Structure 1
Amino acid sequence: MGEDPAAPHRSHAGGGPLPEGRPTSEEGPSSREERRAAVGDLGAALRELVDAAVRTEVPVGELAAVAATARTLAERLRADTRGLHDVAAVDDPDTGERWYSPVYGPGNPVAPPMAAESTPDGRATGRVTLGKPHEGPPGLVHGGVVATLLDHVLARAVRAAGRGGLTATLTVTYRRPVQLGVALLAIAEVGTTEGRRTTASARLVAADDPGTTLAEAEGLFVALRPERAAAVFAPTGRDVAAWTTRS
Structure 2
Amino acid sequence: MVELLTGEARDVRRAAVADLGDALRDLVDACVRTEVPDGELADVAATARELATRLRASGRGLTGVASCDDPAAGERWYSPVYGPGSPVAPPLAVDSAGPDGVTAHVTLGKAHEGPPGLVHGGTTATLLDHVLARAVRVAGSGGLTATLTVTYRRPVRLGVPLLLTAHVIGTEGRRTTARGTVAAADEPGTVLAEAEGLFVALRPETAAATFAGVDHAVQAWTAR
The one-letter amino acid of 2:26's match is E
Which residue in 1 is equivalent to 2:125? 147
Structure 2, unpaired ranges of 5+: none
The match for 2:75 is 97
* TM-score, scaled to structure 1: 0.88
Match of 1:132 among 110, 120, 145: 110
Residues in 1 aligned to 2:175 and 2:199: alpha-carbon distance in whole angstroms: 6
Contact kept in structure 1, 2:149 and 2:197, CA below 8 Å:
yes
User: For structure 1, which segment, 122-131 or 37-46, has the greater mean C-alpha deviation from structure 2 after superposition?
Assistant: 122-131
Q: CA deviation at 1:139?
A: 0.3
Output aligned runs, 1:52-71, within 5 Å: 52-71=30-49
CA contact (8 A) 1:118 1:157 kept: no
Q: Is 1:238 matched up with 2:216?
A: yes
CA distance in 2, matches of 1:150, 1:98: 17
How many percent identity over aligned positions? 71
Q: Where does structure 1 differ by over 2 angstroms across 4 or more consecutive aligned residues?
A: 19-22, 117-120
Query: What pairs up with 1:151-170 in 2 under 5 angstroms?
Result: 151-170=129-148
Contact 1:124–1:156, Cα closer than 8 Å, also in 2: yes
Structure 1 runs not aligned, ≥5 long = 1-8, 10-18, 23-29
Q: Distance in 2 between matches of 1:238 and 1:75?
A: 26
CA contact (8 A) 1:129 1:184 kept: yes
C-alpha distance in structure 1 between counterparts of 2:215 and 2:114, whole Å: 37
- Which one-letter code corresponds to 2:132 in the other structure? L
Indicate the SS of the match to 1:209: coil
Structure 1 122/155 Cα, relative in aligned 2: closer, same or farther at 3 Å? farther
CA distance in structure 2 between the partners assigned to 1:229 and 1:174 by the alignment? 33
Contact map agreement 2:71 2:218 (CA 8 A) in 1: yes
Deviation at 1:119, TM superposition (A): 3.1
Alignment size in residue pairs: 222
- State which structure, 1 or 2, has the greater radius of gyration over its C-alpha atoms: 1
Q: Which residue of 2 aligns with 1:78?
A: 56
Query: Does residue 20 in structure 1 map to residue 10 in structure 2?
Result: no
Q: State the Cα distance separating 1:120 from its structure 2 match.
A: 2.9
Q: How far does residue 237 in structure 1 lie from its aligned partner after superposition?
A: 2.6
Question: Counterpart amino acid of 1:99?
Answer: W
For 1:223 and 1:130, how far apart are their aligned partners in 2?
31
What displacement does 1:235 show?
A: 1.0
The alignment partner of 1:201 has SS state of strand
- Distance in 2 between the 1:76 and 1:238 partners? 26
Task: For residue 118 of structure 1, report the CA deviation from its aligned partner.
Answer: 3.9
Paired residue type of 2:50: T
Q: CA deviation at 1:122?
A: 4.3
Q: Is the 8 A contact 1:122 1:159 kept in 2?
A: no
Task: Point out the more displaced range, 197-206 or 112-121.
Answer: 112-121
3-state SS of 1:173 partner: strand
Residue 217 of structure 1 aligns to a residue in which SS? strand
The residue type equivalent to 2:54 in the other structure is R
1:21 is displaced (CA, Å) by: 4.7
For 2:189, what is the secondary structure of its paired residue? Answer: strand
Q: CA RMSD in A?
A: 1.2
Give the structure 1 partner of residue 176 of structure 2.
198
Amino acid at match of 1:112: P
Q: TM-score when scaled to structure 2?
A: 0.96
SS at structure 2 position matched to 1:68: helix
Give the Cα–Cα distance (whole angstroms) in 2 for the partners of residues 205 and 97 of structure 1. 25
